Amino acid sequence: MPQITVTEHLLLHQKESPMATGKFTRLLNELILSAKIITREVNKAGLVDVLGFTGEINVQGEQVRKLDEYANSILIHRMERAGVLCAMASEENADLIDIPPTFPKGNYILIVDPLDGSSNIDVNINVGTIFSIYRRPDDNDHSCADLSDVLRKGSEQVAAGYFLYGTSTMMVYTTGKGVHGFTLDPGVGEFLLSHPDIMTPPRGNVYSVNESYWNYWDEPTQQAIMAMKTPQPHRRKPCSARYVGSLVADFHRNLLTGGVFFYPKDSLDPKKPHGKLRYLCEAAPLAFICEQAGGMATDGEKRILDIEPQTLHERVPLFIGSRDDMLDTMHILNPEATD
């Protein structure tokens, strides 16, 4: 594999990708630097005081872990001064993060899940960072963007991706021209192209869902999951159950080897009537990547990328992965729907 960095890859594809502007390249490079800094802390998490909780509760009602906060502060510090954003949003911040007036603005809007899979930090299991990028609707406006500029359909994203802090640190992203994976070479300190033009297999042998919530799910949801562990005409054996508890890790494995990930809504549980995952910083960016890789992503009824969020931290049920497995799942979830 030739040693191509993210920036070189972006410029190589400049003619196809209108995203290869200087400002976008700067945005990507600041994200990459943030990920390298987070990688450094993740890799020594057991040795320095970044394990455990800060004692705060975030807007999600979840206990904030030190690495959540650390990753969030690194991303905000680097991105707010890069001169490429007119607004930023984070899973860890209740409201929009305004770009301080002292810093130059840009036309991009960045939404991040700074650390995904927080419950796995203290037990040394893969965690990740998810990012989603929009352009402000009116390029000519150079003030800070407001909420209406951020509450956009996922189909309006100009780029989306994630970093996965695992056996190696990977970056996977799309600008709407395919999905490309890069692996951090610690010796060089660069993300080098390792997985060009990722396409997800149309069927897989894995399903990922937290079955402890079985009794909260409606009948069609239970049938869709039963179908994954029952031999089918196209699959003699049941699928394997794989559930890491870090969305990025489960998604990445399924993206490369095929499979589906479900986080259904809890019909019988008032706590999660729309599921747990956030539309803007989790479902929409991964849906963009999945579709670009030939897969499919819905909320159980409609295409994830067609949903227009009404609130910054809106949650949606998520069914995402291999196309043919997803088509079968959608038929079970919506038996009355015509093709």
Give the full edge-to-edge strand order of the sheet including 260-263: 240-241, 206-208, 260-263, 318-321, 296-298
Q: Which does 30 bind (CB under 5 to 8 A by kind): ligand AHG, Mn ion, none?
A: none
Using alpha carbons, select from 90, 155, 121, 188 the residue that is nearest to residue 291.
Answer: 155
Q: Is 245 in the site for ligand AHG (CB under 6 A)?
A: yes
In angstroms, the CA 146 to CA 108 distance is 12
Triad 297, 300, 302: Cα angle to 5°: 70
Q: Is 69 in the site for Mn ion (CB under 5 A)?
A: no
Q: Which one of 74-82, 159-167, 244-252, 285-293 is the stretch in contact with ligand AHG (CB under 6 A)?
A: 244-252
Query: What is the smallest separation between the CB atom of 114 and Mn ion, expressed in angstroms?
Result: 6
In angstroms, the CA 293 to CA 315 distance is 24
Q: Which residues sit opposite 216 in a β-bridge?
A: none
Query: What is the smallest separation between the CB atom of 224 and ligand AHG, expressed in angstroms?
Result: 17
Query: What is the smallest separation between the CB atom of 231 and ligand AHG, expressed in angstroms?
Result: 26
Among 69, 116, 250, 328, binds Mn ion (CB under 5 A): 116
Q: Is 328 in the site for Mn ion (CB under 5 A)?
A: no
- Type of residue found at 87: A
Contact 126, 104 (CB under 8 A): no
Return the exposure string of 293-328: e unless at least 16 CB atoms fall within 10 Å of the residue's CB, then b: bbbbbbbbeeebbebebeebbebbbbbbbbbbbbeb
Q: Which one of 10-18, 98-106, 177-185, 239-247 is the stretch in contact with ligand AHG (CB under 6 A)?
A: 239-247
Q: Is 276 in the site for ligand AHG (CB under 6 A)?
A: yes
Nearer to ligand AHG, 74 or 192 (CB): 74
Query: What is the smallest separation between the CB atom of 128 and ligand AHG, expressed in angstroms?
Result: 8
Q: Which does 245 bind (CB under 5 to 8 A by kind): ligand AHG, Mn ion, none?
A: ligand AHG
The pairing of beta strand 169-174 with beta strand 159-165 = antiparallel
Among 19, 84, 117, 190, binds ligand AHG (CB under 6 A): 117
List residues near ligand AHG by CB under 6 A.
Answer: 91, 113, 116-118, 210, 245-247, 276
List residues near Mn ion by CB under 5 A.
Answer: 91, 113, 115-116
